[in-house]
Amino acid sequence: MRIAVVHNPTSGDAHPTRAELLATLARHGHQADYYSSVREWREEVGEAPELVVVAGGDGTIRKLARRVADATLPLTILPLGTANNVARALGLTDRPIDELVDGWRTGTIKRFDLGTVEGPWGSDVFLESAGVGVLAATMHDIDEGGSGYVNALDGADARMSAALDVLETVAARSSPFRARLQLDARTIEDEYVLVETLNFGGAGPNLQFSPDGNPHDAMLDVVAVSWAERERLADFVAARRGGAGEPPALLPATRAQRVQVDASAGPLHVDDRLVTLETAHPVRFEAAVRAAALSFLIPASATDAVNPPDGPALRHIA
């Protein structure tokens, strides 16, 4: 079977080298073409691969997803990032890499929805979420503001904890913004501190905004925290930090296939990317679902997390 490995050697903490990664695959009987990060691998390889192994974090997966959406080409993940939200949704975290690779032979294919978003700046896709308010402001503070130290910390746990610190600080000093949300045929309007349009419920530093979110149901989950409900956001983050299992749901999510957001102010994020807007306000975007746009190979040991599977194992893995 022809395998392409797209590897981000700077993801997370482990930083396996090219040689170490290829040696792991060879130990399980797989030969692979190697590509660092997200170069134009599809143009470099003569014969199309039958499986793409994404060895990296959520950002690397998202960049690859944009290139293989709506194709039959399956992906699988070796989670090497910090948050690993996509891999977590597929049940691939907290498992040794050897176990994941070994499970490819008897794994199954699972389809995965992809979110689409359009606004004055253009169009994009998301695997996790698109939104305005506190989460986007936290990303801005870490990437472009005074909290850049977060990305420089050693250890995923340290970075995640520090990101939650920043989120708490940003939430505490946040101001409300006015927003009108069109959720299919339903319209709501209020003053908010956070609006997130979610593909599978999770985003940011392992924040499960909607525990019932499902990346296989052709629906988006919208979680909107009004100014009057802002204390619930603080309680939610505090529970996430407490380490006593998953915190309770932030607020009931509203499910929709198409979402339009008109907000009085930004910033705006699409997954882990901040969108640069010409003006600070207003912010307008439309989100929808591209159902079953991606295919993921789920190793046998992780199939219970995405039951039922959509298809059989890749028969040519040997």
Domains of the chain: residue spans and CATH = 3-107+299-306 (3.40.50.10330), 115-291 (2.60.200.40)
Full-model pTM: 0.90
Say what the pLDDT of residue 188 is.
97
Q: Are 275 and 117 in contact (CB under 8 A)?
A: no
CA 91 to chain centre: 13
Segment 222-264, tens digit of pLDDT: 999 999 999 999 989 888 877 655 666 678 899 999 999 999 9
Nearest CA to 139 out of 127, 148, 129 is that of 148
User: What distance in Å separates the CA atoms of residue 195 and residue 313, rounded to the nearest whole number?
Assistant: 38
Say what the pLDDT of residue 58 is.
94
Mean pLDDT of 128-135: 97
User: What distance in Å separates the CA atoms of residue 248 and residue 131, rounded to the nearest whole number?
Assistant: 21
Buried b (16+ CB within 10 A) or exposed e, 138-162: bbbbbeeeebeebeeeeebeebbeb
Output DSSP code: residue 183.
E
